[in-house]
Structures are given as structure tokens and as C-alpha cells.
Amino acid sequence: MPAGVAGDTMLGREQRLAPTQVAAARIALVESVRLKPGSFDAEARTFEAVFTTAAPVRRWFGNEILAITPDAIDLARLETGQVRFLDHHRSNDRRAVLGIVERAWIEGDSLVGVIRLAETPEANEAAGQIERGELTGISVGYRVDRWQITAVDETTGREDWTATRWALLEVSLVSVQADANAFVRSASPLPATGAAPSTPPRSSAAPAPPKETSMDPETIADGPRGDTPTADPTAETNVRSQEAAVRAATEAAVRAERERVAAITALASRHALPSFGADHVAAGTTIDAFRTALLDRLFDAEATTAIRSTVRIGLDETETRRAAAIDYLFARGLGSREATLSDAARQFLGLTTLGMAAECLEWRGESTRRMKADDIARRAMTSSDFPFLLSAVVNKELRAAYDVAPQTFRPFTRQITLPDFKLAHILRKGLAPQLKRLGEHGEYRQGVVAESEETIGLQTYGIIVAMTRQMIINDDLGAFRSIPAEFGQSAATLESDLVWGKLLANPVLKSDGTTLFHATHGNLANPAAALSAEAINKGRSAMGLQTDLDKKTVLNLTPRFLLIPPELEFTAAQILTPINAQQTANVVPEFIRSLTPIVESRLSLGIKKADDLGINVNGSATQWLLASDRVDTVVYATMTGQSGPYVESEMGFDVDGMKIKCRHDFAAEAADFRGLYRNAGA
């Protein structure tokens, strides 16, 4: 059976199974010891405890002894901070983590250590009980890697099994035992016979009863006789034969139990189901019955292996801890109420930005109790956790601001993604050629599909700002929120400038060498007219007369959107949503009143960003446009796998802190003139 199975599940099992079942169910060892209440330091939240001693413990297979030497004890998990202090061995519950084992050392024949409590509601409750001496039971879980028979009682034949190599897995706070001197131990991989066995003996058979002196009823009734009876040699021979038969039966039962446990353990380990095997070992399942149960388990899990694996393995502890910290910092920056926090994030309530920096240092084993604020900020910036948290919060805030930024161009444009920065073709294929009548001999004529193409290429836009250690010390969480929020708003503004800039600049199309809005295209009002139902109707008619690339196929396009500057919003409302609809409906047709108005200030103000974006176009307070949603008008592109701005961070050398870089890859191009109509107004 795998050595790494935690002993917490066996602790509860030993409390409810019969002795023979307990013997068969041992997977990992758990030993109860006593805490030193007087050693509790309330300020440091630490206390000492004797984890285990070298005293022998009576087992059904013999006496169990833990070797207390530096060579015997494996403290590798302790050195990496992975020995947790749990509540009653509940390793599958995050709230059951009460703290961590900080140090452990050997004092004589005892393993002693220091435990530091976590700052959680559960740990605070436990701290009070420990400080008052109400709860002093400590139970440690460990894994035995190597057994050795070190002694045999010549009288009873009982063996001493010494764990010469074992690893400390976890320490738990448990209820005080009724007998204060009793050491209750839980499940373990038991030794087998041999000089250096790996598995202890197991037996499902009850031990042979002690020999008793029997008296017949007559003797009991009459009392002792005057003459001392003489031993019968035949009867003595029968007794010896019976004892030999009992010993043989017991040894056979032990061998059968060992074979059963070994077979079930091997099958369960082969299919990565150690707990499943342990349960059946404890239940006394036969080998044949376990094979059937194992097949059923594998068949049932075949369709959901990935899901079960995720549930069993779970997230990495570092990822879980970081995600909770990110949620807390993000919510704190927004000023969110406590109720909006996840359960995992609540453990950080009350921490400032500097406090979170100190927490990150504690995660990697650095004590910050005597550190100055400046040292905490400086050292946290050089760690891996704190810069990661800041970058993640910045990205999250940036995305939130970007998603809610107002953008008016999306309804009448189309988004594409590009894999790189090379020029790509915006290919608009015309309609298929018209079907033609077959010739005299039934031959088919070859048709030609006309094509039109414009090109588009991504451009990178970005900026860098610094987040200094002064901001961390001053708990300037507003800056951590406002900077990425401004990044997000800036990225959304950039996109709007580029898209509307294409419409206002009236670019030349590569397909025919003519500007986007031109009389030749039939999408430019001449003469211009003020916004009215009649003027809109003329634009609608012009769009309806557009033909496909073959100049023959009618597209029957209709406008869906009315693009106007703020100055024309009132006029558009009078046309599209008249106050007295019953009378006006006879004047303004439904197909005009069904237009969706899009109000955009850039139509009036223009865009004056020649230095930043290379755009310098004028606007007009009288112009208005019509747009269809059935064909391409303007196409905008983003990088594949990155639909919005992206933030990167690095430790600064020229600045005392961390530099944040916001980058956005974006492009916009006019794709086709047929779905657009422009009127300069009057």
C-alpha cells in the first residue's frame, strides 16, 4: 500500500471498528501525545508539544517502536513548510488548517516541536482553548518507510517492530483522552516477518484463548477429594495435539490475511486508488470480491476520469492561496463590502497592502515580526508572490474597466483575430455567378467569382508606469486601482479613435482606388441635406440600389443604424420616436422609425491625435451616416488569444519598485462601401 496515504482517515475508522478490523485497516500511523499548555505564547501564537517518544506500543502483531534518531526521522516536509497543524486530521477541509509546524528537534528519546497558529477564526478559537489548558491533545500522522525486528520475547514469542525510517506528515489538535497517560495510535502499514520487512503481520483470526483448567460437574458438586489425582499421560498428549493444531490454524490465518492485504494493496496501487483499497482491507473484503468491486469502480469512472482527478488532486496550494489574495486585494481596492468576498479571501480581512506584502514573505518562510516597513516592501518586491499578486490585480482591474468603457462602434463593425503582425487580407467574396441556361448539347459554362480585398495589419500601442515601494508603505490602494482602470479606459478610447477615425478620414479603398464615401460608390449625398425623414429615405434608397462586385446582382441592402453627432440627437429623436405617434406615423414610415440611433461625439469634434496615433481628422456637427448590418463596413482586429489590453510587470532598476507595462495590439480598416451612406448635412 502506498506510503504516502494520510493517516487522518484511519483515525476516525479506529474509533468505530472492531479490534480485528482495526488491525486490517492500518494505512498510516497516528500517535496521540500531549501538548505543553504552559508553553503557549499568545503574542507569537506558538506553543511546544512532544510529538512522539521511543516507548513501545503494544500491537496485535507485536510491539511497535519509533526510532528517535536523526537518521530515522524524515523531516523533509517540515523543511519545506509542508507539515500542517490540523483540526482532528481533517486534511480535506481548508478551514481545518489551524497553523503550521515551524521547528522540530530531538530531546532524549522524544521528538519535540514548535507549532505556530494561523490567524483565522478557527485558529483563534483553538488558541483560547490551548491557552486556558482546556484542549491539550496532540495527534501526529506519519508514514513508516522501513521496519526492522529488533527483539523477540523468548517466553511469549512477541516481537519488537522498530520503524527505523519514518516521515512526519502532519500534526493535529484532538480532544483530551480520558486517560491522560494513554497514547492512542491510529492506522499504519504493518510489518511482515523477516529481517527487514516492509509490511507488519496482519491476522483476521482471533488470538488463541488462554489455557484454562476444566473441572467436570461431579467434581464441582462433590468438592475436592482426599486423594490427589494422578495425571493421565493420554490426556496430556491430547492437550499438546490441540495446542499444536491451534498454532497451525493461527499461522495459516496470518498467512492468508497477509496475502489478502498484499494482493488488495497491489491492485489498488496499480490503479492509483489507495484509499479505495484501504477501505476494502478494513472491511475484510476477499480478494475475488475486491477484484469485482475494482472493475466496477474503474468502469464507472471511465467517462469522468478528468473530473474525478481534479476533485481528488485539487488546485495547487500556492495557486489557491494566490487566488484568494487576489480576490481580497481586488475587492479592497473597489471598496467592496465584506459580504462580496469569497470564503478563502476572508482570511486576509484587515490586511493593508503592506500587510499583504508581509504575508507573502511569511509564505516563503521569512519572519517579518522585527522588519521595518521599508524592508518589508523592498523584500516583498523581490519575491515571486507579491509582484504576481499586484500584476494579477492590475490585470483584473484593467479588464473590468476595459469591458465597461463605452464604445459606440461595435454594433455596425466586425471583429477578426490575427495570429501575427503581417498584413492580412480582408477578403470579401462576391455572390456566386448567376445560373445560366445550358447550351444546345447540355454543356455547362464556367462561372467566375469576383473578389475585392483590403488589407489590415496589427499595430502595438502601449505605455509604462511605476508602482513604488512608497505606494505600498502608504497603503495607496487607490493608485493600484486607478492606474489599471485608466489603462483599460485608454485602450477602449484607442479602439474608438481608430475605428471612427477611418470613417472620418474617408480613406481610399485598395479594391478600386476610390475613397470610401464617393459619388461613384453611390453612398455620398449630393447635394447634402439636413437630417430629416426625407433625407434618410434618400439614403435608404441609395443603399438599396447597391449591387455586388459583378455590377449585376442586386443586394437589397437596408440601413439598420443612424450614426449622428450629439447636436443632431434631438432632431433624430423627433423623427424616430415622435411625441404624438398616432399622427406622425402617417408621415414617418415604420422602416425609418425602426432605425437604431448611435450618438458619437467624434463625428462632431473630430480626432486630433497626430502625435500619439497618427490621426488628425475634422468633424462636423451636421453630418450623419447610415450603416447596414448585413455586409462589412469597418473591420477591427486583435491578436489571437488576446481580445483586449495586456499588462506585464518587471522589477525596476531605475525606479524603486515595480514597473507596469500596458500593451494593446489593435487595427481597424474600412472593408466595403456598400453598407455605408454619408450626408454632410446642412
State residue 478's pLDDT score: 62
Q: Is residue 42 part of a domain?
A: yes
Q: Which domain holds residue 306?
A: 255-313
Q: For 12-21, what is the mean pLDDT?
A: 31
Sign of CA dihedral 612, 617, 621, 624: negative
Q: Is residue 212 part of a domain?
A: no
Q: Is residue 402 part of a domain?
A: no
C-alpha cell read off for 434: 448567376
Q: How confident is the model at residue 523 (pLDDT cuts 50, 70, 90)?
A: very high
Q: What residues contact residue 531 under an 8 Å CB cut-off, 6+ apart?
A: 564, 568, 571, 572, 575, 622, 624, 679, 681
Last residue of a domain, one of 313, 334, 363: 313
Indicate whether 167 and 306 sit together in one domain. Answer: no
Q: Is residue 303 part of a domain?
A: yes
Q: Is residue 228 part of a domain?
A: no
Comparing 602 with 424, the larger pLDDT belongs to 602
State residue 626's pLDDT score: 97
Taking only the tens place, the pLDDT of each residue in 100-124 is 999 998 988 888 889 999 999 998 8
Q: Is residue 217 part of a domain?
A: no
Taking only the tens place, the pLDDT of each residue in 285-329 is 888 888 888 877 876 665 444 444 434 444 456 777 778 877 777
Indicate whether 30 and 170 sit together in one domain. Answer: yes
The answer to whether the predicted template modeling score (pTM) of the entire model surpasses 0.75 is: no
Indicate whether 38 and 151 sit together in one domain. Answer: yes
Indicate whether 537 and 614 sit together in one domain. Answer: yes
Q: For 586-610, what is the mean pLDDT?
A: 90
Half-sphere exposure of 484 (CA within 13 A, CB side): 29
* Average predicted confidence (pLDDT) for the chain: 76
d(CA 256, CA 349): 57
Whether pLDDT at 557 is above 60: yes
Residue 102: alpha-carbon gap to chain centroid: 27
Indicate whether 129 and 273 sit together in one domain. Answer: no
Last residue of a domain, one of 313, 348, 379: 313
In contact, 102 and 81? CB cutoff 8 Å: no
State residue 63's pLDDT score: 83
Indicate whether 472 and 618 sit together in one domain. Answer: yes
When mean pLDDT is compared across 450-464, 465-479, 628-642, the lowest value belongs to 465-479
Whether pLDDT at 682 is above 80: yes
Pairing of strands 615-617, 29-34: unpaired
Indicate whether 265 and 163 sit together in one domain. Answer: no
Whether pLDDT at 196 is above 50: no
Last residue of a domain, one of 169, 186, 203: 186
| Domains contained in the chain, number | 3
Taking only the tens place, the pLDDT of each residue in 201-229 is 443 333 333 333 333 333 333 333 333 33
